[in-house]
Amino acid sequence: MSMHYGNFSSKGANADREYTEDRISVLPINVLDYVVELLPIEDAARTSILSKKWRYIWAMSPNLVLDNLFCNKLAKESCSFFYNTVDNILLQHIGDIVKFDLDVSGLGLPWYTDIDRWMHYVTRHGVKKLNLNVPKNSTYKVPSYIFNCSTLTDLTLSNCVFKSPTSFLGFQNLITLCLKSMTFVPTAEFCVIKVPLLVDLILDCCQGTRYLNIVSPQLESLVVFRSDCLELNCFRNCKKLKRIIFSGTNKVVDVYPKYLESSTLEKFLFSLPTLAILHLESHFLKLLAADNISKELPFALDCLWHLSLHVDFGKLDQTSYALQLIKISPNLTQLRIWVFNTSDNAEAVSEYLDSPACLEQPLNKLRHVTLHLFKGSKTELALVKKLVAHTPSLVRMSIKPNKVMDSWKERNIAIELMRFSRASPRAELLYLPNVV
């Protein structure tokens, strides 16, 4: 190994040392594998021709990612060219395919028998991480090969129809399951899917979730986006849940579970002894807050360190519920609040936030607070004032306005913010009017 030193100046200063001999080809094979894995498939395939040493590195690479861009490019030629090329790639592959990504969501395919065949192939070649994305509304049914594949640890399926086979016992080794825009249909008989090792579950924009009954005692993270239904019953026994994200908004249309009841949600959330990260969007906070004006919550979230909430500061129930959640979390270190809405005329809310009773004890562990979509209303300022006065360990409070306000208003907000007395001597208060 060459030894050039004596030039210890800052980074990049030695960038001109000339590269004269082939060093990449003598790197350990695991490093070459890794570089090839990180290349898009065309570039990866092209490395086969660099030299004898490189001849089979790509063919033996355990990861095959056929992304949207690549599939579209092939299908532009013709559908049969696409089918043939993927067939060829699989035929030439040497050894196990540990990770297989196939994204045909942008293709108008006349049939899906080839996809079934490829799924059959990869599930017999040791696939652990499988990601399949078919076109929206395709009615493509998840083939039985996937259900019966015991090597799977990570499974992501998008836009398919999910109907488990009658004899299905569950995914024995699955750790991560992500289902996007899936349609679940009822099976002939009531069927429980056992996923004994599942840690992460993401349900995004799925339909018919009530037909999905999962038993997953090891589950640590439950993320539900835009679901028309949320059956919390099947998660009742997930005592290891650490992370909950419930969200319903997107740019086009908001979807929330229709029949979820306030008491069910509350009972569920407060029955999780290890909950550490909680993210609730407006609908869920609204639901929880509905019957709870200024009521003290008889629970504690002892492990919670990250709380993120969408709050309507025009509403007293939501504002007070948000504060209740903060108060019952003695180990909270990070708080993120999205100002979902606010009102300058919400006298009751301002009065509540100004009253000493709304927050008496110091929040000793809270170190980082971020307010997103800040609109500069009286209620928001009252909240900031309250928080900085009760957070002796605060490191940083960041305030990010949702749009550019006029400079006169911004100046007034800044002056107001500066006046607040802070319990933490080292607290940094960042008002970021230009960062939207």
Residues that bind another protein (CB under 8 A): 1-5, 7-8, 11-12, 14-25, 27-28, 30-31, 34-35, 38-43, 45-52, 54-55, 73-74, 85, 88-89, 92, 306, 333-334, 367-368, 370, 395-396, 398
Nearer to another protein, 192 or 430 (CB): 430
User: In angstroms, what is the minimal distance from the CB of 9 to another protein?
Assistant: 11
DSSP character string of 96-163: ---EEEEE-TT---S--HHHHHHHHHHHTTT--EEEEE--TT--PBPPHHHHT-TT-SEEEEES-EE-
User: In angstroms, what is the minimal distance from the CB of 94 to another protein?
Assistant: 12
Rounded Cα distance between 15 and 6, Å, is 15
Matching residue, tokens 């086969």: 48
Nearer to another protein, 79 or 348 (CB): 79
Nearer to another protein, 30 or 137 (CB): 30
Rounded Cα distance between 174 and 150, Å, is 8
Residues 6+ away with beta carbon under 8 Å from 55? 48
SS (H, E, C) 350-380: HHHHHCHHHCCCCCCCCCEEEEEEECCCHHH
Residue 376, phi-psi category: left (phi > 0), alpha (psi -120 to 50), beta (remainder): left
Rounded Cα distance between 104 and 110, Å, is 12
Q: Are strands 200-204 and 334-341 parallel, antiparallel or unpaired?
A: unpaired
Rounded Cα distance between 398 and 62, Å, is 44
User: In angstroms, what is the minimal distance from the CB of 19 to another protein?
Assistant: 4
User: In angstroms, what is the minimal distance from the CB of 212 to another protein?
Assistant: 30
Nearer to another protein, 40 or 186 (CB): 40
User: In angstroms, what is the minimal distance from the CB of 220 to another protein?
Assistant: 16
φ, ψ of residue 200 to 5 degrees: the values are -115, 130
Nearer to another protein, 58 or 140 (CB): 58
User: In angstroms, what is the minimal distance from the CB of 55 to another protein?
Assistant: 7
Nearer to another protein, 89 or 245 (CB): 89
Nearer to another protein, 47 or 274 (CB): 47
Residues 6+ away with beta carbon under 8 Å from 255? 205, 226, 227, 228, 248
User: In angstroms, what is the minimal distance from the CB of 213 to another protein?
Assistant: 33
